[in-house]
Amino acid sequence: MATLTVPTTVPSVSEDCEQLRKAFSGWGTNEGLIIDILGHRNAEQRNLIRKTYAETYGEDLLKALDKELSNDFERLVLLWALDPAERDALLANEATKRWTSSNQVLMEIACTRSANQLLHARQAYHARYKKSLEEDVAHHTTGDFHKLLLPLVSSYRYEGEEVNMTLAKTEAKLLHEKISNKAYSDDDVIRVLATRSKAQINATLNHYKNEYGNDINKDLKADPKDEFLALLRSTVKCLVYPEKYFEKVLRLAINRRGTDEGALTRVVCTRAEVDLKIIADEYQRRNSVPLTRAIVKDTHGDYEKLLLVLAGHVEN
């Protein structure tokens, strides 16, 4: 469930553009007005605002925002204003350029988007960077990470609910054998995780647990410091329990000494129109604190205000 709230009656696009223009004019910027408008418009409405703003004022709205805003608030507004596919392309490009073995953003995008959303992100990547996401992933990643990430970002999974139980049983046995032999980057392990439908993977992993007594992620914890195993565990989580993956990202972003604003911004931005309510429920269950209260404790100013709006917080 999404947390984004859109008013029942939305002003006309031209009115929104006029108000945004007003927010930029005169002394200082009216950040509250920017939050009130963009923080309560869905992706389709935001795209129309960007298009109309450019046609009316001869200026890209993103460039106007870039000139007026700064710091974490600027990053949040600019990411939120992007079309979801453009945003994924930008995040994926940043992840390839700054890639380290602990960076899980490429896997996150590949495994938590639908087949069409991932395809649209790859198309947006072509348009924005004049090359493919696949070639950048191939160029910037190495070793076992390269072996797993390249097929993940290239995949186009079947999305039906049909499940082949015989296959689930066979592949559960196969995965157990490979993991028992510590062959974590074996071609078969990667093939199953990178190509099977999410419903099929879920059936396989349920059979794995029933047959062998352990959740697969428990068996992938042989070496807690191994970053490839950490990536494999996160891949499994993203495919089967995305809310648990995102809850952990938020918990680590908020609870560490010094907030990881990059991760907090990314999760709120990319999930507010998808399943942030489910993630927030998981966060409260796991941490006994509402996500919005944790955000208030760890952030401030306009950045905090927009995060709360996107997280569906309602002022009493």
pLDDT computed for residue 259 by the predictor:
78
Domain 242-310 is found in CATH 3.40.50.2300: no
Domain 84-154 is found in CATH 1.20.272.10: no
% of the chain at pLDDT higher than 70: 99
Q: At what angle do helices 143-154 and 227-240 cross, to 10 degrees?
A: 20
Question: In whole angstroms, what is the distance from residue 234 CA to residue 52 CA?
Answer: 40
List, for residues 258-306, the tens digit of each pLDDT value: 779 999 999 999 999 999 999 999 999 999 999 999 999 999 999 999 9
Question: In whole angstroms, what is the distance from residue 253 CA to residue 57 CA?
Answer: 38
List, for residues 33-61, the tens digit of each pLDDT value: 999 999 999 999 999 999 999 999 999 99
Q: What is the mean pLDDT of the chain?
A: 96
Please report, as a single letter, which amino acid is at residue 247: E
pLDDT computed for residue 28 by the predictor:
80
List, for residues 57-108, the tens digit of each pLDDT value: 999 999 999 999 989 999 999 999 999 999 999 999 999 999 998 899 999 9
Residues of each annotated binding site for Ca(2+): 24, 26, 28, 68, 254, 256, 258, 296, 298-299, 304
Instruction: Give mean pLDDT, residues 115-125.
Output: 98
SS3 309: helix
Buried b / exposed e over 94-114, threshold 16 CB at 10 Å, is ebbeebeeebbbbbbbbbbbe
% of the chain at pLDDT higher than 90: 92
- Pick from 248, 257, 260, 267: which is nearest to 307 by CA? 267
Q: What is the band of 181 on the pLDDT scale with cuts at 50, 70, 90?
A: very high
Q: Which CATH architecture has domain 165-223+235-240?
A: Orthogonal Bundle (1.10)
The total number of residues shown for the chain amounts to: 316
Residues of each annotated binding site: 24, 26, 28, 68, 254, 256, 258, 296, 298-299, 304
At residue 315, does pLDDT exceed 90? no
**CATH 1.10.220.10-classified regions of the chain:** 13-69, 84-154, 165-223+235-240, 242-310
Please report, as a single letter, which amino acid is at residue 293: R
- Which CATH topology does 13-69 take? Annexin V; domain 1 (1.10.220)
List, for residues 9-27, the tens digit of each pLDDT value: 999 999 999 999 999 887 7
